[in-house]
Amino acid sequence: ESGVELRVMVEIDAGMGRCGISPGIEAVALSQRISGLPGLKLQGIMGSVPGPKGDDDPALHQAKTKTNLQIVLDNKEAMEQSGLSIEVVSVGGAHCYALAIQMPGVTEVRAGRYPLMDHRLKSFLPELNPAAKILASVISHPIDGMAVLDAGHKATAPDQGRPVLEGIEGGDATRFSAEHGIVELEGDAQNKLNTGDKAWLIPYELGDSVNQYDYFRATRNGKLEGLWPISARGRLA
């Protein structure tokens, strides 16, 4: 009655076991149902493929990812064979961007961490260096071989993996409580983190920590060039 037409995407479960309808007959049937409803326009399909785990073999993960991406493309073909028009094929995520853009039929890649990266994906995408880092301060040096940072769980979100201490060989961020991070120091590193010093931490999983901050402080060649507001600040759901 209002004359408004909503464009709709059908999500396919492409291996995530999370959201999306089962591929195949069910997906085609849902798409046909949508295309027959007033006020709705079937624009395309989308699917997310599982990301790598820390101990995955890159070559094996690449092969699995290609198989999962193909699930989405096979469903596009099945929908088109049933008489439907599919304009958009959207796949995710950042770990598979290079492979996805080479597969005929993919029109969009949802690569959330691609612009900034994190440590989790670095071994799978070595051509991209992590740009997002957390600046911490050393607040205590209670014993030889240990430094305490003012960045703990709340700042680094180490649930899926510990952040990496950058630029200090022999230094390892090993333990985190709510507001403190413990760095173990060996060899020459014992003389490199004293009380008041600054330390850079590369998040393991950027998506788990970025919403703890008001801004990205954008720097170039060591100089602050801008403050980028983080609209997801404090939003946990």
Domains of the chain: 6-112 (3.20.20.10), 134-229 (2.40.37.20)
For 162, the token pair is 């510990």
Instruction: With H, G, I as helix, E, B as strand and everything else as coil, classify residue 78.
Output: helix
Pairing mode, if any, of strands 198-202 and 171-176? Answer: unpaired
Please tell me the distance from the alpha carbon of residue 117 to that of residue 101, in angstroms, as a whole number: 18
Report angle CA 107, 110, 114 to the nearest 5 degrees.
Answer: 125
For the chain, the straight-line distance linking the first and the last C-alpha, in angstroms and rounded, comes to 34
Tens digit of pLDDT for each residue in 55-98?
A: 788 888 889 999 999 999 999 999 999 999 999 999 998 989 99
The predicted-structure confidence for 143-183, as pLDDT tens digits, reads as follows 999 999 999 999 999 888 999 999 999 999 999 999 999 99
- Note the pTM of the prediction, 2 decimals: 0.82
Residues 6 or more apart whose CB falls under 8 angstroms from that of 49 comprise: 14, 15, 16, 65, 68, 69, 91, 92, 93, 96
Specify the pLDDT at position 1. Answer: 64
List, in order, residues 6 or more apart from 224 with CB less than 8 Å away: 217, 218
Chain centroid, CA 134 distance in Å: 16
Q: Given this model, what pLDDT does residue 151 score? A: 96
Nearest Cα neighbor of 157 from 212, 230, 234 is: 212
Question: Residue 54: is its pLDDT beyond 80?
Answer: no
